[in-house]
Amino acid sequence: MPELYTVNGELPELDRPVLVQAMSGFVDAGGATRLACESMLDSPGARELAVFDIDQLLDYRSRRPPMIFVEDHWESYEEPRLALHLLNDDEGTPYLLLAGPEPDLLWERFIAAVVELVDRLGVRVTVGLNAIPMGVPHTRPTGVTAHATRPDLILGYESMFRRIQVPGSAGNLLEYRLGQRGRDAIGFAVHVPHYLAQTAYPTAAEELLASVSRATGLLLPTARLRQDGDVIRGEIDQQVALSEEATAMVRALELQYDTLLRAREGTNLLAEEGAPLPSADELGAELERFLAEHSRRNDPPKT
């Protein structure tokens, strides 16, 4: 069986770089992972170090790449590409980005190949990006669920969940396998308001990159995402103001958010009437339901 990846020239000598893995696939609420990837890849001097053999990894029938037809001919084909990139942060520090479609096939062989690259490049920590829909309002600070192979890698983060079951992903399995090998790995899942899950939400992408920066010391590009987020926030506020139903929903979510925050801070204030405080089990169950439904919608058709 052919190798899963090809190296473009010689791999560079790097000083224990960070590897960010941000593969597209199962769930990307608000397009946050995609927007974060685009922001990183827009940095000057970006180059591909290695390219994976997508024909071995992708199920084209379940995720058909777009093609453009014009009048009487096929004009273009959006070729899927999964590659490892060498980038520089805003202070010139080199880091790595694994980006492209999440493999559908050969997960264990793919992860073994990534671990091989981690070893060859001397990666000190791998950081995965995800974006999940949550019952939170856009008017409050964007939350993040953090997980890692060692607790001290994510000090200061408090989990909203205790134990939940979710469909696996190649990115999360990579983190798990790295942990089994004694490697440092972190994952950040940004919380996107569920009513914005199907629209581009730059604020969530900004928070993802800020989380990576806090955990690794990298200074990742967020200025453009912040500007775009401010514009989108104004548009969302206008749309909400035009609907009494939407306004009531956002206010209810604000009340629930504030109540949960006060409980976490230990103020022991009673929730206002009509704003029951969700438990970790209830939050986890709601996320499980969403992911299960999403998984069924995205399963390839049976033939």
Q: What is the pLDDT along the chain (303 residues), one digit of tens a residue?
A: 579 999 999 999 999 999 999 998 778 999 999 999 999 999 888 999 999 999 999 999 988 999 999 999 999 999 999 999 999 999 999 999 999 999 999 999 999 999 999 999 999 999 999 999 999 999 999 999 999 999 999 998 877 777 888 888 999 999 999 999 999 999 999 999 999 999 999 999 999 999 999 999 999 999 999 999 999 999 999 999 998 999 999 999 999 889 888 877 764 433 344 444 444 455 445 544 544 554 455 555 444
Residues in contact with 195: Cβ distance below 8 Å, sequence separation at least 6, in sequence order? 246, 249
Nearest to 218 by CA among 47, 39, 51, 61: 39
The reported pLDDT for the residue numbered 291 is 46
pLDDT of residue 269: 38
Residue 299's pLDDT is what? 52
* pLDDT score recorded for residue 266: 63
Question: What's this model's pTM, rounded to 2 decimal places?
Answer: 0.85
**Do residues 99 and 23 lie in contact, with contact meaning Cβ atoms separated by under 8 Å?**
yes
Which residue carries 């893995």 as its tokens?
21
What b/e readout covers 150-181, taking b as 16+ CB neighbours within 10 angstroms? eeebbeebeebeeeeebeebbbbebbebbeee
What is the model's pLDDT at position 296? 52
CA distances to 31, 61, 101, 118, 229 from 26, in Å:
11, 15, 10, 24, 24
pLDDT of residue 130: 95
**The CATH number fitting domain 5-232, selected from 3.40.50.10900, 3.40.50.300, 3.40.190.10, 2.40.50.140:** 3.40.50.10900
3-state secondary structure (DSSP) of residue 108: helix
Asked if 156 and 143 touch (Cβ cutoff 8 Å), the reply is no
Instruction: Count CB-CB contacts under 10 A for residue 79.
Output: 7
Q: Are the C-beta atoms of residues 9 and 114 closer than 8 Å to each other?
A: no
Strands of 156-221, DSSP E: 185-193
Whether 201 contacts 32, CB under 8 Å: yes
Question: What is the per-residue pLDDT for 263?
Answer: 76
For residue 289, the model assigns a pLDDT of 54
Side chain identity at residue 235, one-letter code: E
